[in-house]
Amino acid sequence: MEASVGNNMEAVRRSKEDRKVLRKQLKASHTLLKHDGISAAQQPTKSLVVANGGLGNRVSREELSAALNEMGELETLIMHPHKPYAFVTYRSEESARKAHTHLNGEKLQCGENSVTLYLSYVDSVTCQEEVSVPLPDGLVLVEDFVSPEEEALLLAAVDWSSTNDDVTAQKALKHRRVKHYGFEFRYDNNNVDKDKPLAAGIPQECLPVLERCVKNKHVDILPDQLTVNQYESGQGIPPHVDTHSAFEDAILSLSLGAKTVMEFRHPDGRFVAVVLPERSLLVMKGESRYLWTHGITPRKFDMVPACDPQSPAHTTPDLSTYSNLTLSKRDTRTSFTFRKIRHEPCGCAFPSACDSQGAPSAPSPPPPPPSLPCCHADAALLEEEYVHRVYDAIASHFSSTRHSPWPRVCHFLLSLPAGSVLADVGCGNGKYLGVNPEVAAVGCDRSSALVHICAERGFQAFVSDALSVPLRTASCDACISIAVIHHFSTQERRLAAVRELVRLLKPGGRALIYVWAFEQEYNKQRSKYLKDQNKKHPENHSATENTQTGGSQEPHGTSSIHPSRHLEDTYRPVENIDVTDGKLSVHTNRTAFNTQDLLVPWHLKEGKKRAEEEPRDGGKKDKGKEKSQKSSGPDTSDATHSPDSKPGASGDTSQTSSSALKSESESSPAPVFHRYYHVFQQGELEQLCGQEAGVKVQSSYHDQGNWCVILVKDLL
């Protein structure tokens, strides 16, 4: 009897796990369906989609194909550069079934990372074979230009110790180490001091290489200036054109120590990524030197062609064909760039980029990332740009992802005596205003768009700033401020926000404050922000989100399904900008925080664009009902302030048809907004509140990635 009960339990347990895997699988398929128009097949086929086994989440081709090859003979393995999945087609359906059985839900170890693979059958695999893009005009790449011995000699010739400062010009730039010989290139004016040659000319060790360049007709005259750049993994150089008036046409660049990927951009939008192998020589002349910008994105991994013995050898070094790509971890690369100083004005055929012919001497750099503000005015401007405009633009999408109130907040609300007056400062879409029907709740938010959503739901709300709430002093029995104060960019403003809350409270009244925690792991428990694997919109989460599945934030990292981070930064594709100079970093969603002040990306959902054709409802509101399906959205004309914003959608999630998706994907990728956050360290919120007289911290706790306090106003 007991044995059979035990067996039944086992069977139940196993099938529960199976069901869990199946659920995740279905969700993965669902995500793909929505994002890329791929259909998951109901019946087994020869082809599978391998979720989480993509270049986009750091799985290399070698590692994945090794695992897949064990199941049978592969026909093709397609890994798109930025996708977190791969498509595999086996020679036989049997092999595909074997792979499905053995690999679905299994962990794959990839270097330092471990991912869990989810396999689903697919009917067809779309393989976008793109035509290989030619190199920019005038660009020549010569592989194996120096031997390993010569490489070692050249690297040894550079003395990075700073005692040689007066002889060469060695500067530690933000992103890489630089040394100049012959003439110093100045980064303040992007030009050379032609009248002040450096004491050290080009090192002797370079002569054989230079003579080889002349012999092979890459240059006519010997260069007289050398700039040595050393890039460690994660370092790069922003896109630029070498100043026309400073240097003659031909520029020679030798890559030593490691390979890298250099990106060329033409003013008309053309983009070519070129792999520069170790010990190769890059010759830039003509258009590639005078017009295209070149740069190296600060990254730790590059996508490079795989050396697949089965496929035809790649002769093109560019990366436009991505059916045969793999990941390459960057190593320290040292480039030797040889140039000839120009003494006459440049008379090139590219005046638009020519400083001798009127153009600015350096291309306008991308706008620098914002710095931490040091005064109220700057703070207000920062918050306007990176909080208010964003929320107004993303309001409906944001609201659609904020539908489940947090249990502990609800607990606080439900503990309030009947007839209490409650203010929700920073009420967002009004999610908490209806939790306790026995209290008189009024909400306020800085975002007019969000306040309108409250009104549509039948709640009382008004538009105002949390730093100056137009409610009478001591008029509230309780206040809540959930995920608000972390949007203030100075300590003074955060304190001022607390002060306002306290002012509103009656003596003995209580306030509940939630802010995003710097420490996403607490008591060895990772927050759902880091943990959760199956979010529809992996990027769009914050501390207080709670989804219908009971999970909350989207965790990121290597074991989740997410569209590429690469899409996030259009002009500054960096991993983590160093914040030591006070600039704000752009955070990678769902990873642990490494700075307290940061910009968190929000990807506006596809299909959620302003549908100007849709009629606006006159203002009919259903009292007390939570309806998010109204097309009477906020006045989205306000949302057009930010140049890169798409106004918030006026429709519901269910209205995104596949045709809308297709047209969306045909146009530019989903716009990304950045919201400013100051995430709080343990104890910081308490300390902040402790600075306010007349109030005591009644309790403080950590709740799913947030630091929380309950304050009590002193009795008089």
Partner 1 sequence: MKLLTHNMLTSHVKGVTKGYPLLIKATEVKVNEVDFNAQFVSRMIPKLEWSALVQAAEELGHRQDLPAELVPEYENNEEFLKKVHRVLLEVEVIEGSLQCPESGREFPISRGIPNMLLSEDEV
Give the binding site for partner 1 (CB under 8 A): 377, 380, 418-419, 421, 438, 440, 442, 444, 446, 448, 451-452, 455, 460-465, 467-472, 475, 619, 621, 623
**Nearest to partner 1 of 38, 461 (CB atom):** 461
Closest distance of CB 675 from partner 1, Å? 19
Q: How far is the CB of 509 from partner 1 (least distance, A)?
A: 12
For residue 202, give the DSSP letter. S
Q: Which is nearer to partner 1, 464 or 700 (CB)?
A: 464
Which residue, 468 or 667, is less far from partner 1 as judged by CB? 468
The upper half-sphere exposure of residue 265, i.e. CA atoms within 13 Å in the direction of its Cβ, equals 16
Integer Cα distance of 607 and 262 in angstroms = 34
Interstrand relation of 460-463 and 293-296 (parallel, antiparallel or unpaired): unpaired
Task: Specify the 3-state DSSP secondary structure of 43.
Answer: coil
Residue 613 CB-density burial (10 A; 0-12 exposed, 13-18 middle, 19+ buried): exposed
Task: Between 393 and 469, name the residue whose CB sits nearer to partner 1.
Answer: 469
Alpha carbon 219 to its chain centroid, in Å, reads: 41
Which residue, 230 or 447, is less far from partner 1 as judged by CB? Answer: 447
Q: In what order do the strands lie in the sheet with 74-78?
A: 74-78, 85-90, 47-51, 118-122
Nearer to partner 1, 196 or 472 (CB): 472
Q: Which is nearer to partner 1, 185 or 459 (CB)?
A: 459
Angle at 142 between CA 141 and CA 147, to 5 degrees: 140
| Beta carbons within 8 Å of 211's beta carbon, 6+ residues apart | 222
Q: Which is nearer to partner 1, 423 or 577 (CB)?
A: 423
- What lies within 8 Å, CB to CB, of 668 at 6+ separation is none
For 46, residues 6+ apart whose C-beta sits below 8 A from its C-beta are 75, 89, 90, 91, 92, 93, 95, 96
Could you tell me the smallest distance in angstroms from the CB atom of residue 644 to partner 1? 24
- Smaller CB distance to partner 1: residue 69 or 448? 448
- CB-wise, 376 or 526, nearer to partner 1? 376
Residue placing its CB nearer to partner 1 in the complex, 365 or 619: 619
Q: At what angle do helices 61-69 and 93-103 cross, to 10 degrees?
A: 110
Dmax over CA atoms of the chain, in Å, equals 99
Taking the complex as a whole, the smallest distance from the CB of residue 506 to partner 1 amounts, in Å, to 9
What's the rounded Cα separation, in Å, for the pair 284 and 289?
Answer: 5
Beta-bridged to residue 418, according to DSSP, are none
Rounded to whole angstroms, how far apart are CA atoms 480 and 684? 18
Minimum CB separation from partner 1 for residue 435, in Å? 15
Give least dist CB 472 to partner 1, A. 5
- Tell me the Cα Rg of the chain: 29
Nearer to partner 1, 211 or 438 (CB): 438
Tell the smallest beta-carbon distance from residue 632 to partner 1 (Å).
9
We find the least distance from the C-beta atom of residue 475 to partner 1, in angstroms, to be 5
Query: Measured from the CB atom, is 358 or 618 closer to partner 1?
Result: 618
| Residue from 282, 368, 290 nearest 333 by CA | 282
CB nearer to partner 1: give 59 or 471.
471
Decide whether 26 or 381 has the Cβ nearer to partner 1. 381
Cα 436 from chain centre: 38
- Nearest approach, Cβ of 387 to partner 1 (angstroms)? 14
Q: Is 464 within 8 Å of 410 (Cβ atoms)?
A: no
Cα(22)–Cα(35) distance, integer angstroms:
20
Q: Closest separation between CB of residue 599 and partner 1, Å?
A: 23
Helices (H), 584-712: 658-666, 684-690
- In eight-state DSSP terms, residue 679 is P
Q: Is 641 exposed, middle or buried (0-12, 13-18, 19+ CB in 10 A)?
A: middle
Query: What tokens appear for 165 in the block?
Result: 């400062």
Which of 670, 657, 538 is CA-nearest to residue 27? 538
Q: CA 122 to CA 25: how far, in whole Å?
A: 12
Q: Measure the CA–CA gap between 476 and 512, rounded to whole angstroms.
A: 13
Shortest Å, Cβ 202 to partner 1 = 57
Q: DSSP secondary-structure letter at 385?
A: I
CA distance 426 to 449: 12
Instruction: Tell me the sheet residues that pair with 329.
Output: 301
Least separation in angstroms between residue 419's CB and partner 1 is 3
Which distant-in-sequence residues (6+ apart) come within 8 Å of 7 by Cβ?
A: none
CB of 421 to partner 1, least distance (A): 5
Cβ nearer to partner 1, comparing 342 with 621: 621
Q: How far apart are CA 232 and CA 408, in angstroms?
A: 46
Q: Tell me the closest approach of the beta carbon of residue 514 to partner 1, in angstroms.
A: 23
The distance of closest approach from Cβ of residue 462 to partner 1 in the complex, given in angstroms and rounded to an integer, is 4
**How far is the C-alpha of 280 from the C-alpha of 276, rounded, in Å?**
6
At a CB cut-off of 8 Å and minimum separation 6, what does 270 contact?
133
Least distance from C-beta 619 to partner 1, angstroms? 5
Nearest approach in angstroms of CB 440 to partner 1 is: 6
Do 686 and 697 meet the contact criterion of CB atoms below 8 Å apart? yes
Q: Which is nearer to partner 1, 485 or 685 (CB)?
A: 485
